[in-house]
Structure 1
Amino acid sequence: MIDTLLTWMVKPRMVRLERMRSEPHATQREVLQDLLQTARHTDWGRMYGYADGLNAREFAQRVPVSSYEQLYPWIERVLHGEDDVLWPGRVQWFAKSSGTTNARSKYIPVTPQSLEDCHYRAGRDMVAVAQTLYPEAGILRGKTLSLGGTHVPNPFRPDDPASRVGDVSAVIMQNLPAWAESRRTPPLELALLDEWEEKLERMAQHVLHENVSCLAGVPTWMIMLLRRVSELAGGRPIPEVWPNLRLFMHGAVAFGPYRELFRQLIPEAQMRYLEIYNASEGYLAFQDQPDSQDLLLLLDHGIYYEFIPIDELGKEHPRTLTLEEVEVGPSYALVISTNAGLWRYQIGDTVRFTSVAPYRIRISGRTKHFLNAFGEEVVVENADAAIAAAAATTGALVKEYTAAPIYFSTGEGSRGGHQWLIEFSQPPASEAQFAQVLDETLRQLNSDYDAKRHRDIALQPPVLTVAAPGTFEQWLARRGKLGGQHKVPRLSNNRELLEELLS
Structure 2
Amino acid sequence: MALINSLVSWLNTKRLSQIDFFKNHPIETQKETLTQLIEQASHTEWGNKYDFKSIRTLSDFKERLPVQTYEDIEPYINRLRNGEQNIFWPSEIKWFAKSSGTTNSKSKFIPVSKEALENCHFRGGKDILAIYTSLYPETGILKGKGLTLGGSHQINNIKNESYYGDLSAILIQNLPFWADFIRTPDTSIVLMDEWEEKLNRMTEATLNENVTSLSGVPSWFLVLLKHILKASGKNNILEIWPNLELFVHGGVSFTPYVEQFKKLLPSKNMNYLETYNASEGFFGIQDNPFDDAMLLMLDYGIYYEFIPVDSLGDEHFKAISLEEVNLHTNYAIVITTNGGLWRYQIGDTVRFTSKDPYKFKISGRTKLFINAFGEELIIDNAEKAIQMACAKTNSIIKEYTAAPVFMASGQKGTHQWLIEFEKAPNNIDEFNFILDNALMSVNSDYEAKRYKNITLEKPHITIAKPGLFYLWLKEKGKLGGQNKVPRLSNNRDLIEELLQKNN
Matched residues in 2 for 1:48 and 1:54: separation? 13
- Paired position in structure 1 for 2:340: 341
Structure 2 stretches lacking a partner, 5+ long: none
Matched residues in 2 for 1:335 and 1:159: separation? 32
Q: Which amino acid aligns with 1:471?
A: L
**How far is 1:148 from its partner?**
0.6
Matched residues in 1 for 2:418 and 2:136: separation? 38
Q: Where do 4+ consecutive residues of structure 1 move more than 4 Å?
A: none
Q: Are the counterparts in 1 of residues 85 and 92 from structure 2 also a CA contact under 8 Å?
A: yes
Q: Are the counterparts in 2 of residues 218 and 253 from structure 1 also a CA contact under 8 Å?
A: yes
Matched residues in 2 for 1:9 and 1:122: separation? 16
Q: Which amino acid aligns with 1:166?
A: G
1:70-469 mapped onto 2 (5 Å cutoff): 70-154=72-156, 157-161=157-161, 163-411=162-410, 414-469=411-466
Structure 1 counterpart SS, 2:421: strand
**How far is 1:177 from its partner?**
1.6
Matched residues in 2 for 1:128 and 1:89: separation? 29
Structure 2 counterpart SS, 1:487: coil
The one-character-per-residue Cα deviations of 1:161-200 (angstroms, maximum 9, x if unpaired) are: 4x21000000000001223332111100100000000001
Matched residues in 2 for 1:199 and 1:287: separation? 30
**1:492 and 2:489 correspond:** yes
Matched residues in 2 for 1:471 and 1:430: separation? 21
Matched residues in 2 for 1:355 and 1:102: separation? 32
The one-character-per-residue Cα deviations of 1:222-250 (angstroms, maximum 9, x if unpaired) are: 11111111122222421111111000000
39, 49, 52: which one aligns with 1:50: 52
Q: Are the counterparts in 1 of residues 91 and 114 from structure 2 also a CA contact under 8 Å?
A: no
Q: Taking every aligned residue pair, what percent have the same amino acid on both sides? A: 51
**1:473 and 2:475 correspond:** no
Structure 2 counterpart SS, 1:105: coil
The one-character-per-residue Cα deviations of 1:305-342 (angstroms, maximum 9, x if unpaired) are: 00011122134453110001001011011000110001
**How far is 1:54 from its partner?**
3.2
Q: Are the counterparts in 2 of residues 81 and 90 from structure 1 also a CA contact under 8 Å?
A: no
Relative distance call for 1:137 and 1:13 in structure 2 (3 A) is same
**How far is 1:208 from its partner?**
0.5
Matched residues in 2 for 1:181 and 1:370: separation? 41
Matched residues in 2 for 1:274 and 1:183: separation? 19
State how many pairs are aligned. Answer: 498
Q: Are the counterparts in 2 of residues 418 and 463 from structure 1 also a CA contact under 8 Å?
A: yes
Q: Which amino acid aligns with 1:221?
A: W
Structure 2 counterpart SS, 1:318: coil
Q: Are the counterparts in 1 of residues 82 and 159 from structure 2 also a CA contact under 8 Å?
A: no
Matched residues in 2 for 1:267 and 1:103: separation? 38
Structure 2 counterpart SS, 1:274: strand
Q: Which amino acid aligns with 2:291?
A: S
Matched residues in 1 for 2:313 and 2:437: separation? 31
Matched residues in 2 for 1:219 and 1:213: separation? 17
Q: Are the counterparts in 2 of residues 78 and 90 from structure 1 also a CA contact under 8 Å?
A: no
- Paired position in structure 2 for 1:7: 9
**How far is 1:160 from its partner?**
2.9
14, 17, 20: which one aligns with 2:19: 17
Matched residues in 1 for 2:200 and 2:92: separation? 37
Matched residues in 2 for 1:102 and 1:238: separation? 36
Matched residues in 2 for 1:475 and 1:330: separation? 34
Structure 2 counterpart SS, 1:137: coil
Q: Are the counterparts in 2 of residues 65 and 317 from structure 1 also a CA contact under 8 Å?
A: no
Matched residues in 2 for 1:181 and 1:331: separation? 40
Structure 1 stretches lacking a partner, 5+ long: none
Matched residues in 1 for 2:168 and 2:283: separation? 15
Matched residues in 2 for 1:204 and 1:282: separation? 30
Matched residues in 1 for 2:463 and 2:246: separation? 32
Matched residues in 2 for 1:310 and 1:429: separation? 38
Cα root mean square deviation, aligned: 1.1
**Structure 1 length normalisation: TM-score?**
0.97
483, 496, 501: which one aligns with 2:498: 501
Structure 1 counterpart SS, 2:320: coil
Q: Are the counterparts in 1 of residues 5 and 138 from structure 2 also a CA contact under 8 Å?
A: no
Q: Which amino acid aligns with 2:476?
A: R
